[in-house]
Structure 1
Amino acid sequence: MSADMVQIFSEFIGTGILILLGDGVCAAVNLNKSKAQNSGWIVIAFGWALAVTIAVYIAGINGPAHLNPAVTIAMAVEGSLKMSLVVPFIIAQLLGAILGAVLVWLAYLPHFEATTDKGAILGTFATGPAIRNYPANFVTEVIGTFVLVLGLLAFGANKFADGTNVFAVGGLILAIGLSLGGPTGYAINPARDLGPRIAHFILPMKHKGDSDWGYSWLPVVAPIVGGLLAVGVFSFM
């Protein structure tokens, strides 16, 4: 297998693990009869931070571990990723996200059957706004992803002991979740939202309801904008 294919596969596996653990904590908190039901936002924020940490460790063995199309596009524009890998990375990330969401469904299958709240089921897979205001929601996702990408670029410019930079990435995700996640659920990653939303659409869940495609464009477009803005700002630092 070529070096490029190894990196592409790493993005696929890493994003799958990211969504398995990240949407997994959402399932644990949202679904009926889960032992973690109603354990709250702090659990979700910590769960996602640890999901990113573990997924980056796994994918980082043989690749940059972007696990996020917004990061991939930003890094290509910044110059640390060759442009020929952008589309393959994004496809791998999206497919990995779909796989991760399917695995969450399998892991919590009896709990999906026991849950009739359509919002709780969709919230296990994809993000949604606390107050539906598209301009405000867009700005929130831009800001969150701006902080994410600027942080990643800053980490790359600093020195860490081997392997410890991943903990900084996890801390960054935790900070974004706790501080900026309230309005929209902090997608900050097009694959993280779109892949599981596709899984929600295709999986045979009798109580699932609508996949909210009217909102689905926002957590795809806004993170890309936020990432590009971060690259622009970082170029002056």
Structure 2
Amino acid sequence: MSAFLAEIIGTMLLIIFGGGVVAGCVLKKSKSENGGWIVITCGWGFGVAVAVYAVGSISGAHLNPAVTVALATIGSFPWAQVPTYIAGQMIGAFLGAVVVWLHYLPHWAASDDKAAKLAVFSTGPAIRSYGANLLSEIIGTFVLVLGILSIGANKFAEGLNPFIVGILIVAIGLSLGGTTGYAINPARDLGPRIAHFVLPIAGKGDSDWSYAWVPVVGPIIGGVLGALFYKTFFGA
């Protein structure tokens, strides 16, 4: 399997788990309706772990353009492969969102809340303030990349690293996710947002394109800063 295909599959799995847990918690007549924030953060974290287990040995399981760009910035990944990885991540995120839509197909018409339907696909701020929202995404992705690099520098029992990364995602969600929904990944937000725009989702509203730049720009900035911070203070 090529790294390109691995990034597609890995990111698709990530969105199936992540978007799926949000759908289960916010859509009407789901058995997990009103599951709450802890359920959502755990679903995302465990989803990341499974996706990394699936393709980590093939592509390194970036699954996130912010991670790919951050690693390239500090010389840990070739710039020539960045476009291929990002393309795979975007395709995978879109496909994962389509799977979530199909899986919960009867529940879209049963749900009246247009914002909740959009939340299955992409993030949105608790309080809309673009500067503050951008800062939240920068901080969250800074912690993500710093955490990933720090985890990689430690020795664990064989095969444990992906699970620890999943715990990192849960921790970021619990501690920092309440402001913007912690996209911390441009593909995770933009790919499903495009899916929301094009899919015939029953009773959907607009895709909130005025906010869409925040979970793209913020994670890229935060990821690069996190990688540079790690390289400066912890070594290459």
Give TM-score, length-normalised by structure 1: 0.97
SS in 1 for 2:210: helix
Measure the CA separation in 1 of the matches of 2:91 and 2:151. Answer: 27
Give the partner amino acid of 1:177.
Answer: G
Residue matched to 1:218: 214
Residue matched to 2:195: 199
Q: Give the superposition deviation at 1:68.
A: 0.2
Residue 116, structure 1, aligned to residue 121, structure 2: no
Residue matched to 1:13: 9
Give the partner amino acid of 1:206.
Answer: A
What is the root-mean-square deviation in Å for CA atoms of aligned residues? 0.9
* Partner of residue 63 from structure 2, selected from 59, 64, 67: 67
Residue 95, structure 1, aligned to residue 86, structure 2: no
Q: Deviations over 1:115-169 (max 9, x none)?
A: 1210010011100000000000010000000000001111122212211111110
* Partner of residue 121 from structure 2, selected from 118, 125, 147: 125
SS in 2 for 1:116: coil
Q: Give the superposition deviation at 1:206.
A: 3.0
Residue 174, structure 1, aligned to residue 173, structure 2: no
Measure the CA separation in 2 of the matches of 1:155 and 1:7. Answer: 22
* Partner of residue 234 from structure 1, selected from 219, 230, 235: 230
Residue matched to 1:31: 27
Q: Deviations over 1:167-192 (max 9, x none)?
A: 11011001000000000000000000
Residue 165, structure 1, aligned to residue 161, structure 2: yes
Q: Give the superposition deviation at 1:82.
A: 1.2
Q: Which runs of 4+ in 1 moved over 3 A?
A: none
Give the partner amino acid of 2:216.
Answer: V
* Identity level (%): 60
* Partner of residue 139 from structure 2, selected from 134, 139, 143: 143
Contiguous gaps of at least 5 residues in structure 2: none
Give TM-score, length-normalised by structure 2: 0.97
Q: Deviations over 1:183-236 (max 9, x none)?
A: 000000000000000000000023111000000000000000001111111122
- With 53-62 and 119-128 compared, the bigger mean Cα shift is at 53-62
- Number of residue-to-residue matches in the alignment: 233
Residue 106, structure 1, aligned to residue 119, structure 2: no
Q: Give the superposition deviation at 1:106.
A: 0.3
* Partner of residue 38 from structure 2, selected from 39, 42, 61: 42
SS in 2 for 1:13: helix
Measure the CA separation in 2 of the matches of 1:205 and 1:165. Answer: 37
